[in-house]
Amino acid sequence: MSEFDLIQRYFTRPASSAILGVGDDAALLRVGEGMELAVSTDMLVSGTHFFPEADPFLLGYKTLAVNLSDMAAMGATPRWATLALALPDVNETWLQKFSTGFFALADEYRVELIGGDTTRGPLNLCVTIMGEVPRDQALRRNGAQAGDDIWVSGELGEAALGLAYLQSEIELAEEPRISCLAALHQPRPRVALGLALRGIAHSAIDISDGLLADLGHILECSHVAAEVRYDRLPISPIFECCVENRIELTQRCVLSGGDDYELCFTVPVARRAEVETLAIRLHLPLTRIGKIVSGSGCKVRAGNGSVITIEKGGYEHFA
């Protein structure tokens, strides 16, 4: 099968909202009046981000999901994506499953695949996503202010626990295993939350490298510090029922495990009720986990006020 047949068969669909989609030297897009284009790229590399034998449907899903999460964190409506693939060989079964996983999520969020690149090489999956956000309304990392509440969506830690299971570090019974592996392989990008936080949140980020590392980016960009209450964190109940007494493992998964793809955001205290209403409307737990204060760095305190020190700060490729 030629490169062109491959693109035609697995990655070409009629353009819907793009002016020109797959098939020319470039795609053509028109951004709405008064809108800004939000652009972000995320790459998944075999051996670094996933095991080479990983399920291709789930890889297709996750490759897009992590990019949608970036749009969510910016408060942008995802619209278009390009897909750059390096493949060791043409495996049609693999391609069929991969594209089905990719388009399953693309259809759900009405994201249009408008182009990409396909080459031979070590398995590598790279998506560039583009979204729209009204002028000056994007949620940035640099807007946190002393006094803001710090919030986090969903529950933390299951994806990291799923990874610990795959790496044979822990054992998990069937039910928690299914839940943790779903969290790891099929994160739900919080797009609706990101959109709803426009005009409410001062800053936002998605948790892809662990809560502390990603909150740390907000703190650095905003030149502020944080006090986080460990006892308030929305820790998945699986930690209590299935890995009892593994305090160190729990702290690591919850604070520095990556891959949660929840949003961490800061909101002025006066708008607390709006966030609480939002949680109900979106059927998504939103938890107040601490406060922004002046200074630098992040302090995590236990319920009794003692400071918790954490060894590893989150995944960093070149550390």
- Nearest partner of 92 among 10, 8, 4, 3, judged by Cα: 10
Dist. CA 288–CA 17, nearest whole Å? 38
CB of 10 to ligand ADP, least distance (A): 8
Q: 122 is in the binding site of which of ligand ADP, Mg ion, none (Cβ under 5 to 8 A by kind)?
A: none
- Nearest partner of 194 among 273, 138, 258, judged by Cα: 138
Q: Is 160 within 8 Å of 209 (Cβ atoms)? A: no
Interhelix angle 3-11/92-108, rounded to 10 degrees, is 40
Distance of CA 244 to the CA centre of its chain: 27
CB of 252 to ligand ADP, least distance (A): 36
Residues of this chain that interact with ligand ADP (CB under 6 A) are: 7, 11, 22-25, 83, 85, 113, 115-118
Q: 113 is in the binding site of which of ligand ADP, Mg ion, none (Cβ under 5 to 8 A by kind)?
A: ligand ADP
CB of 251 to ligand ADP, least distance (A): 40
Q: Count residues contacting Mg ion (CB under 5 A)?
A: 1
Q: 151 is in the binding site of which of Mg ion, ligand ADP, none (Cβ under 5 to 8 A by kind)?
A: none
Does 3 interact with Mg ion (rule: CB under 5 A)? Answer: no
Q: CB-wise, 117 or 171, nearer to Mg ion?
A: 117
Dist. CA 190–CA 284, nearest whole Å? 9
Q: CB-wise, 1 or 308, nearer to Mg ion?
A: 1
Strand partners, 85: 118, 125
Longest dimension (CA), the chain: 64
Q: 53 is in the binding site of which of ligand ADP, Mg ion, none (Cβ under 5 to 8 A by kind)?
A: none
Does 117 interact with Mg ion (rule: CB under 5 A)? Answer: yes
Q: CB-wise, 46 or 137, nearer to ligand ADP?
A: 46
CB of 81 to Mg ion, least distance (A): 16
Cα three-residue angle 76-204-176, rounded to 5 degrees: 95
CB of 259 to ligand ADP, least distance (A): 24
* Binding site residues, Mg ion, CB under 5 A: 117
